[in-house]
């Protein structure tokens, strides 16, 4: 049995993260998304590590090995479904987490917000790399289409694509590199999550009212630790129901067909959590313009802290702000739906209109604090 002294580093970390952490007393359910994301990240790293023990990262063996894991290994099917369903839940709570930050004006904590956006960007890359590894039809052609976007870079785009591929087409070197990066990136994400929490604990959590009260505070434990445990149990119950009953519904049926470079699927589309960006990419006829719009749809999130300061008031209780925010959410959902639709009229025309509205509304949300401060 190990007996830790009071000044032991592990005890200090526990005290810093749980016992001694002072929180506002009015946090609601929207402040539980971060802790749920930490739980999902642990599930993803654990299941991914077990799957990686048998994954060959070979274009000749990957598809057959995955079938072998699911059909011939004890609970291999469960590990695969937990990992794939966990990715969907991961991005669901990420979007809820970001939406809560925009709605309640939590981006005034610049280090916390910027680290969170950086984590989101790394998770996008990690999810894309993992989507390629099953080496089904959609995996192969998604890798081909997305990596070809690099050719939009003037002069050196084609050279970079060939370096990424490890040849003149997506093949065995590509999947080997993607597997190595997919294995490595989650540990980098975990490190950034620790930094994210560290800066959050230094500055203190925001709250729905947006006020900074130094008088009335409560400790994280036991008030919010018990609340987190309750939502952990509730989430795991829902997570296993979706995994065991609807797990295969979240996987494209084309991905159960081995990759074939000679047969192009009728409709190539990413997972649901990337469909909004895919719709933005398709809505712009120019290749360079589409790539720039795709990058801006995410990178603009870094702009929110630039136009805010610690004394910016919250606007979520004002009707006009709610109209703008929920219009932005509606555009996001519409783009997600349009990303699943065929690339034909009228869907392309509607995508152009919704894309323009998406960027107009996010720019308004970015500069709304600056405009209001100037008026004051």
Of 288, 297, 293, nearest to 155 by C-alpha is 288
pLDDT > 70: what percent of the chain? Answer: 89
pLDDT in tens, 287-309: 889 999 999 999 999 999 887 66
Give 104's pLDDT tier (boundaries 50, 70, 90). Answer: confident
Average confidence score pLDDT of the chain: 86
Contacts made by residues 124-129, CB under 8 angstroms, sequence distance 24+: 124/274, 124/298, 125/181, 125/185, 126/181, 126/182, 126/185, 126/186, 126/189, 127/87, 127/90, 127/91, 127/271, 127/273, 127/274, 128/270, 128/274, 129/178, 129/179, 129/181, 129/182, 129/185
Residue 75, phi-psi category: left (phi > 0), alpha (psi -120 to 50), beta (remainder): left
Helix ranges (H only) for the chain are 9-14, 33-52, 62-72, 76-103, 110-132, 137-148, 157-165, 172-203, 220-246, 275-283, 287-299, 319-340, 347-375
- What does the alpha-carbon distance between residue 103 and residue 375 come to, in Å, rounded to a whole number? 21
Is residue 234 scored above 70 in pLDDT? yes
As a whole number, mean pLDDT of residues 232-249 equals 94
Residue 101 buriedness (CB in 10 A; 0-12 / 13-18 / 19+): buried
Q: Is the pLDDT of residue 144 over 80?
A: yes
pLDDT reading at 233 higher than 60: yes
Taking the model in full, what pTM does it have? 0.90
Question: Apex CA 143: angle with CA 139 and CA 149, to 5°?
Answer: 150
From CA 146, how far away is CA 278, in angstroms rounded? 10
Distance CA 250, CA 138 (A): 13
pLDDT > 90: percent of the chain: 48
Distance in Å from the first CA to the final CA of the chain: 61
Predicted pLDDT at 376: 43
Structure tokens at 221: 């434990």
Say if residue 238's pLDDT is above 90: yes
Q: Tell me, what's the pLDDT at 375?
A: 44
pLDDT at 91: 96
Q: What mean pLDDT is predicted for residues 73-86?
A: 93
How many residues are there in the chain? 376
For 161-213, write each residue's pLDDT tens digit: 999 998 888 989 999 999 999 999 999 999 999 999 888 888 777 878 766 65
- Mean pLDDT on 48-75: 89
Q: Is the pLDDT of residue 330 over 60?
A: yes
Please tell me the CATH code under which domain 26-211+218-268 is placed.
1.20.810.10
Better-predicted residue by pLDDT, 243 or 11: 243
What does the pLDDT read at residue 311?
53
Instruction: Label residue 309 left, alpha or beta by phi (over 0 means left) and psi (-120 to 50 means alpha).
Output: beta
Compute the average pLDDT of residues 47-53: 93
Q: How far apart are CA 357 and CA 354, in angstroms?
A: 5
Residues of the chain with CATH 1.20.810.10: 26-211+218-268
Q: Which residues are catalytic?
A: 201, 205, 227-228, 271
């Amino acid at each position: 049995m190990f007996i830790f002294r009071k000044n032991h580093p592990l005890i200090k970390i526990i005290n810093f993260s749980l016992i001694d952490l002072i929180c506002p007393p009015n946090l609601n359910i929207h402040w539980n998304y971060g802790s749920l994301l930490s739980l999902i990240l642990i599930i993803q790293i654990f299941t991914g590590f077990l799957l990686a023990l048998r994954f060959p990262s070979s274009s000749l063996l990957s598809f057959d090995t995955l079938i072998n894991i699911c059909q011939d290994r004890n609970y291999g099917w469960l590990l695969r479904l937990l990992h794939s369903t966990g990715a969907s839940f991961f991005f669901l709570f990420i979007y809820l987490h970001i939406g809560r930050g925009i709605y309640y004006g939590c981006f005034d904590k610049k280090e916390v917000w910027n680290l969170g956006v950086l984590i989101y960007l790394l998770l996008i890359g990690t999810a894309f790399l993992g989507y390629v590894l099953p080496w089904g039809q959609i995996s192969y052609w998604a890798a081909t289409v997305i990596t070809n976007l690099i050719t939009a870079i003037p002069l050196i785009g084609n050279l970079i694509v060939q370096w990424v591929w490890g040849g003149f087409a997506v093949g065995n070197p590509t999947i080997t590199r993607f597997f190595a990066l997919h294995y490595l990136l989650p540990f980098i994400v975990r490190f950034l999550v620790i930094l994210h929490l560290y800066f959050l604990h230094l500055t203190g959590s925001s709250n729905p009212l947006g006020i900074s009260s130094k008088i009335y505070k409560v400790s994280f434990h036991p008030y919010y630790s018990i609340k987190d445990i309750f939502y952990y149990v509730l989430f795991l119950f829902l997570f296993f129901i979706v995994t065991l009953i609807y797990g295969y519904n979240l996987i494209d049926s084309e991905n159960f067909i081995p990759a074939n470079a000679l047969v192009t699927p009728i409709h190539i589309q990413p997972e649901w959590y990337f469909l909004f960006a895919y719709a933005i990419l398709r809505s712009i006829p120019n290749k360079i313009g589409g790539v720039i719009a795709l990058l801006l749809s995410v990178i603009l999130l870094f702009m929110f802290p630039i136009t805010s300061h610690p004394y910016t008031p919250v606007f979520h209780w004002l009707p006009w702000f709610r109209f703008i925010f929920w219009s932005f959410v509606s555009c996001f959902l519409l783009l997600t739906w349009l990303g699943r639709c065929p690339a034909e009229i009228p869907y392309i025309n509607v995508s152009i209109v919704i894309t323009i509205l998406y960027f107009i509304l996010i720019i308004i949300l970015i500069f709304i604090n600056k405009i209001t401060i100037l008026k004051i």
